[in-house]
Structure 1
């Protein structure tokens, strides 16, 4: 008898899990063609899309769920290629390493992850934190907390005194001499060990800071900070371990070193020359522009004491230039991937990037394609995310207007499904 009850319970649970969902879509964004299609039905089984049908199909199974999105535009879940899921901008940001425990960082990151998901971003690439990002990724994958799929670089790699040196700005007692374990590289041997350490710690990608940066407590925002040999070793070692490399870069010389030695994506790219754009086209490297971050830091730098004094001139110089560079890069044919640098500005506002891209000359439908189909290709997940096709994860969002006509519609996501589970429905 007990065995029969157990079997019935197992069958019941399996039936619930297998319950079909039919989503009736008034408009649907086909991310592969970057075109709007009308009157479609997405059939979801478990965590995957089982079919995309023409018309408003009715389920044969009486237990199936019907979701009516006939007055919405439906898109694949969005992908942001550049976030910092562990932290967020604020006037006290530079005190946090000294006052927050790892548990504080983790709880903050979990709330940020949920906020990101509610904004329609079902996958993100996290490009640098303390390592809590790895634990958060695992907790989300195990269903313990809500959030987007995370591919993480764990801790970014820098050089001594460089943009990702975690001890910049500290006094002599605290500054120490961090090395590969802490993500600080000086020489080819360090480069190899730092990548292997990231692999050991659970990273999916490697991030380097190929040039100086705006928000680090250091003077330069643009000088090259890795040698050719160091970058080549990082890229070669990463390839051995099945990872690709992203490079933070504002200065042109550092960008060229990164691209020529195998980096897949250039983050920011602020002072990129026409020559570097042509190298990116040749090498098939992608620009992740992060216009949102540039606009935010240049605005906040005008507020007294929002940033440490050493940062202010860098923010005022670099921030306003990113959007113009992006417009030139797009017109020149540089491959573009969507990424925002969320964390430098408030998480959940990631979709403002679409508006800035369109302002700079990219058509709405292409901007949407960068955050879906293109990003999935860059992440080597083309048949899993970024598309509404049979076999892909059921990562599905909806907005109230047609974003190919009104791009600001992306800032008000009214429906979010990730992996077949509905997280938001207004």
Structure 2
């Protein structure tokens, strides 16, 4: 459709009937092009190409009826007919929709500790709808939900995909997998009040079954707890809770089914065991040691660190009021600065990094503030943005769909004032969101 003859651009032909005319012009198109297509064109003052790191002036992004980008051209040199829907984002900078690799949509940040017992079981799924919308409004068009009760993340994904709710694209995990008494188990109630917890197993066969069961009922990623946690009871973050062999069983089973694995791992030994076992992303990574960083940087099968280094200010300021127990706040204080220092070390060592906020520990709509913290601890603005776009798509295995404004990918686009490469805090207040070529109002 964009063939050239004798060095001059050819005119685009019209499809007959209801067929969609697509446009695939280079950014630097020097001649005006006429289109008579039915579709959408999105324009703005400039666009960040996260694959090259270059800022492109006056983009015109053409989108087909399926919400995929068919071409990108210079808006000053192309024309489009009245039958093309025009989304004009004005004097804004366009970026790919952002990707958060670690969220809990059914976890309101202002309800902690035993306060959760005030609410009925279905309450949490209801709150997930508003939290998903808050993340979409914040510019996150794709999120990976790493563990939820009652498969709330899977149900919400189905509701969004079917048009019953508004929110980002969700990569759900269903129930997280872990050991009895570990971080993924129910640890707040006495034995007389507990019931069997799905996802919990204590043998290789049991863990393999839990992988298969989560996939059977809609999980698209497997979440496993390799160490203790900050906000669970009777666990310590540094405590390893699954062996390397057990983690390998989970990773091999998941990979056999075409799923990737995310391992909650604060402690150094659990982190190294997860890396050696073939886990795809390591979550939190708070207490990683030099050996763990070297293992991650050198592993042939890519492993990604997802480090939530922004939420401590919220949890320390608001946690007690929200009902979080002092023991949990103590653990939060102890790991916070160590985690941030290790973020700097891992990035400097060349470890692959993605954006993961642990939204739900803090309010979902505020997570854009993490970009500045990532820069404070060693990243450039471009690297921080790439962590939440290009890198996230690679870690998900979904480079054909999300993570960049590029031909063939879904038209998930956000708009901000100014230049986020000069001031990354522009991403804290997203001005417009387009998902699949349609503006979110």
TM-score by length of 1: 0.91
2:237 maps to which residue?
A: 221
Task: Decide whether aligned partners of structure 1 residues 272 and 92 sit closer, same or farther in structure 2, where only a CA change above 3 A counts.
Answer: closer
| 1:191 to partner: Cα distance | 0.8
Q: Deviations over 1:334-371 (max 9, x none)?
A: 11111111011001112111111011120001111111
Q: Distance in 2 between matches of 1:217 and 1:320?
A: 21
1:317 maps to which residue?
A: 334
Q: Distance in 2 between matches of 1:264 and 1:258?
A: 9
Answer whether contact 2:272 2:292 (CA < 8 A) is retained: yes
1:7 maps to which residue?
A: none
1:38 maps to which residue?
A: 57
Q: Distance in 1 between matches of 2:62 and 2:388?
A: 23
Q: Deviations over 1:399-420 (max 9, x none)?
A: 0111000010001111101011
1:81 maps to which residue?
A: 101
Matches within 5 A, 1:83-122: 83-92=103-112, 94-96=114-116, 99-102=119-122, 104-122=123-141
| 1:57 to partner: Cα distance | 4.6
List gaps (5 residues or longer) in structure 2: 1-16, 22-36
Number of aligned residue pairs: 406
> Which shows bigger deviation, 82-91 or 121-130?
82-91
| 1:34 to partner: Cα distance | 2.0
Q: Distance in 1 between matches of 2:196 and 2:416?
A: 50
TM-score by length of 2: 0.88
- 3-state DSSP class of the match of 2:46? strand
1:6 maps to which residue?
A: none
Task: Decide whether aligned partners of structure 1 residues 19 and 117 sit closer, same or farther in structure 2, where only a CA change above 3 A counts.
Answer: farther
2:419 maps to which residue?
A: 402
Q: Distance in 2 between matches of 1:304 and 1:328?
A: 34
Answer whether contact 1:235 1:263 (CA < 8 A) is retained: yes
2:437 maps to which residue?
A: 420
Task: Decide whether aligned partners of structure 1 residues 26 and 92 sit closer, same or farther in structure 2, where only a CA change above 3 A counts.
Answer: same
List gaps (5 residues or longer) in structure 1: 1-10
Q: Distance in 2 between matches of 1:305 and 1:144?
A: 30
- Aligned CA-pair RMSD: 2.0
1:5 maps to which residue?
A: none
Task: Decide whether aligned partners of structure 1 residues 169 and 176 sit closer, same or farther in structure 2, where only a CA change above 3 A counts.
Answer: same
| 1:176 to partner: Cα distance | 4.4
1:171 maps to which residue?
A: 190
Q: Which has the higher helix share?
A: 1
- 3-state DSSP class of the match of 1:133? helix
Matches within 5 A, 1:26-425: 26-46=45-65, 47-92=67-112, 94-96=114-116, 99-102=119-122, 104-130=123-149, 131-166=151-186, 168-178=187-197, 182-283=198-299, 284-300=302-318, 303=320, 306-424=323-441
Q: Distance in 2 between matches of 1:325 and 1:62?
A: 54
2:8 maps to which residue?
A: none
Task: Decide whether aligned partners of structure 1 residues 176 and 86 sit closer, same or farther in structure 2, where only a CA change above 3 A counts.
Answer: closer
Q: Deviations over 1:181-215 (max 9, x none)?
A: x0112121111111111112210000111110000
